[in-house]
């Protein structure tokens, strides 16, 4: 996977910019608030059709009516050009080779990137929602139908919640059947993905920590794997009528993460958490390589300065042969190879003035 050229038009603090990426390491350098993360955000849009930050119409430059971003990229099969237009009122149009996509899901799998930011420590420390999101976003580019299941589930859940709140119970069983059907499919995919990423991430964590840290991810679904999904929903029917919300189902799943047998959330040190997230992200890239035959583009936001020397060296050794786009505020070159330095100042690519 390779991103070659990015164009930004009224996107965040960019008026118009054109940025070329090289095959290997690309360093986006600049002071705080200059627009480095905005570039990663734009690139990320072409993988997921959404932002990893707030997104929405906030991406349109203040005072402007619309924004556009374009990416030329290459996957193992072909060279493509994709455009995303952001229009006022949350509307967005996505094009591949100038043909408008009917659904965002059609974008998935064309351009695959993996994002690594300090915020991702939330995968270990945060609420279950963060872990579900991590798992779901990792599955999405590999199984484009998965997002359809998630959307379907969310809609059914919203309908059922509305019925509970308005105390209309006649059709509850029908909604439960629909939830069980979609929910079971989501569970199956989550279960196999978590098992797979666990194996890979364990190996990596073991390697980084010199055999001292054993990482373990265990899927902790709301409906247990041996239980019957519909029966479980039926069992909770009366309780749900009292509480007016949907109490069981994949919207309440979690992933339990352990380091050396203890819940990482409560016991792990900052460094161990960073290592675990690093292991998960690298594991994610390995799975993408197995599935698609090529590595994703790695987007690293301010991550090198957060890691200590040995972990930094480990990460650098692991990103050999991949395209990476990395932001930093200090220009210290941790890489021995040739790097493409993109200098950003106040929403402008000033590389040519270096
Ligand atoms: N819609 C918008 N219109 C204009 N400017 C915006 C918009 N959204 C964000 N910005 C500006 O973009 C800048 C932030 O960009 P970004 O987050 O990319 O900075 P950064 O270089 O990554 O900084 P840091 O090193 O602190 O992470 C801020 O100055 C912010 O005000
Ligand atoms: Mg930033």
Query: Taking the CA of residue 336 as centre, how many other CA atoms within 13 Å lie in the half-sphere pointing to its CB?
Result: 4
**What's residue 186's pLDDT?**
97
Pocket of ligand 1 contains residue 12 by CB under 6 Å: yes
Tell whether 104 and 68 lie within a shared domain.
Answer: yes
Phi first, then psi, for residue 194 (nearest 5°) are -65, -40
Residue 293 buriedness (CB in 10 A; 0-12 / 13-18 / 19+): exposed
Domain edge (last residue) among 260, 290, 320: 290
Mean pLDDT of 113-139: 94
Query: Mutate which of 30, 35, 69, 331 to test ligand 1's pocket (most atoms within 8 Å of Cβ)?
Result: 35
| Of 289, 275, 281, nearest in space to 322 by CA | 289
Pocket of ligand 1 contains residue 104 by CB under 6 Å: no
How many angstroms does the Cα of residue 348 sit away from the middle of ligand 1?
Answer: 12
Domain edge (last residue) among 264, 290, 316: 290
Pocket of ligand 1 contains residue 26 by CB under 6 Å: no
In CATH, what number is assigned to the domain containing residue 7?
A: 3.40.50.300
Tell whether 181 and 215 lie within a shared domain.
Answer: yes
The token pair at 157 is 């859940």
How many angstroms does the Cα of residue 208 sit away from the middle of ligand 1?
Answer: 34
**Per-residue pLDDT tens digits for 180-230:** 999 999 999 999 999 999 999 999 999 998 999 999 999 999 999 889 999
pLDDT higher than 70, residue 106: yes
Pocket of ligand 1 contains residue 329 by CB under 6 Å: yes
Pocket of ligand 1 contains residue 36 by CB under 6 Å: yes
pLDDT higher than 90, residue 56: no
Going by pLDDT thresholds of 50, 70 and 90, the confidence category of residue 235 is: very high
pLDDT higher than 60, residue 354: no
Within-domain flag for 335: yes
Atom nearest to 34 CA in ligand 1? 21
pLDDT higher than 90, residue 303: no
pLDDT higher than 70, residue 4: yes
Nearest CA to ligand 1 atom 12: 13
Tell whether 83 and 219 lie within a shared domain.
Answer: no
Nearest CA to ligand 1 atom 13: 33
Residue 65 buriedness (CB in 10 A; 0-12 / 13-18 / 19+): exposed
Q: Nearest ligand to the C-alpha of residue 28? A: 1
How long, in residues, is the chain? 354
Atom nearest to 327 CA in ligand 1? 22
Instruction: Name the residue range of residue 42's domain.
Output: 1-112+296-354
A 10 A CB-CB count for 77 gives 10
How many angstroms does the Cα of residue 347 sit away from the middle of ligand 1?
Answer: 8
Within-domain flag for 122: no
Protein residues with C-beta less than 5 angstroms from the ion ligand 2: 37
Pocket of ligand 1 contains residue 33 by CB under 6 Å: yes
Atom nearest to 62 CA in ligand 1? 3
Pocket of ligand 1 contains residue 35 by CB under 6 Å: yes
CA-to-CA distance for 29 and 141, rounded, in angstroms? 29
**Per-residue pLDDT tens digits for 166-182:** 999 999 999 999 999 99
The token pair at 206 is 């073991």
Pocket of ligand 1 contains residue 32 by CB under 6 Å: yes
**Per-residue pLDDT tens digits for 61-82:** 999 999 999 999 999 889 999 9
**What's residue 307's pLDDT?**
81
Tell whether 9 and 57 lie within a shared domain.
Answer: yes
Going by pLDDT thresholds of 50, 70 and 90, the confidence category of residue 32 is: very high
Going by pLDDT thresholds of 50, 70 and 90, the confidence category of residue 325 is: very high
In CATH, what number is assigned to the domain containing residue 175?
A: 1.20.1050.90
The token pair at 189 is 């995919």
Atom nearest to 63 CA in ligand 1? 3
How many angstroms does the Cα of residue 212 sit away from the middle of ligand 1?
Answer: 40
How many angstroms does the Cα of residue 302 sit away from the middle of ligand 2?
Answer: 7
The token pair at 202 is 């364990």
How many angstroms does the Cα of residue 231 sit away from the middle of ligand 1?
Answer: 49
Going by pLDDT thresholds of 50, 70 and 90, the confidence category of residue 353 is: low
How many angstroms does the Cα of residue 37 sit away from the middle of ligand 1?
Answer: 7
Mean pLDDT of 134-147: 93
Q: Distance between alpha carbon 185 and the CA centroid of its chain, in Å? A: 21
Average pLDDT, the chain: 93
Tell whether 342 and 255 lie within a shared domain.
Answer: no
Domain edge (last residue) among 290, 318, 345: 290
| The dihedral sign for the CA sequence 135, 141, 144, 148 | positive
Pocket of ligand 1 contains residue 54 by CB under 6 Å: no
Going by pLDDT thresholds of 50, 70 and 90, the confidence category of residue 88 is: confident
Number of structural domains (the chain) is: 2
66-75, 117-126, 282-291, 299-308, range with the lowest pLDDT = 299-308
Greater confidence (291 vs 332) lies with 291
67-76, 293-302, 319-328, range with the lowest pLDDT = 319-328
Tell whether 142 and 270 lie within a shared domain.
Answer: yes
Within-domain flag for 120: no
Pocket of ligand 1 contains residue 37 by CB under 6 Å: yes
């Amino acid at each position: 996977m390779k991103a070659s050229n990015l164009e930004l038009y009224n996107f965040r603090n960019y008026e118009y910019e054109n940025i070329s990426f090289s095959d290997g390491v690309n360093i986006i350098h600049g002071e705080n608030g200059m627009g480095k993360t905005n570039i990663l955000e734009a690139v990320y849009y072409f993988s997921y059709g959404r932002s990893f930050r707030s997104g929405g119409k906030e991406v349109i430059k203040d005072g402007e009516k619309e924004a556009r971003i374009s990416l030329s990229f290459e996957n193992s099969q072909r060279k493509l050009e994709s455009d995303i237009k952001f229009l006022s009122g949350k509307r967005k149009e996505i094009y591949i080779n100038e043909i408008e996509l009917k659904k965002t899901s059609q974008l998935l799998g064309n351009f695959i990137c993996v994002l690594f930011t300090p915020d991702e420590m939330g995968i270990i420390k945060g609420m279950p929602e963060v872990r579900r999101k991590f798992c779901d976003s990792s599955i999405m580019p590999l199984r484009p139908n998965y997002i359809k299941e998630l959307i379907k589930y969310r809609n059914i859940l919203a309908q059922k919640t509305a019925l509970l709140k308005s105390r209309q119970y006649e059709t509850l069983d029908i909604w439960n059947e629909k939830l069980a059907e979609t929910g079971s499919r989501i569970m199956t995919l989550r279960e196999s993905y978590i098992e797979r990423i666990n194996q890979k991430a364990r190996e990596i964590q073991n390697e980084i920590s010199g055999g001292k840290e054993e990482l373990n991810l265990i899927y902790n679904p709301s409906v247990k794997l041996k239980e019957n999904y519909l029966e479980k929903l039926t069992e909770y029917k009366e309780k749900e009528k009292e509480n007016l919300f949907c109490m069981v189902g994949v919207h309440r799943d979690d992933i339990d993460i352990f380091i050396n047998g203890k819940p990482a959330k409560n016991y792990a040190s900052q460094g161990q958490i960073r290592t675990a997230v690093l292991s998960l992200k690298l594991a994610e890239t390995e799975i993408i390589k197995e599935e698609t035959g090529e590595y994703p583009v790695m987007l690293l936001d301010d991550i090198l300065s957060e890691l200590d020397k040995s972990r930094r060296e480990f990460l650098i050794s692991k990103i050999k042969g991949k395209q990476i786009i990395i932001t930093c505020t200090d220009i210290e070159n941790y890489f021995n190879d040739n790097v493409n330095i993109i200098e950003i100042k106040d929403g402008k690519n000033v590389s040519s003035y270096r």
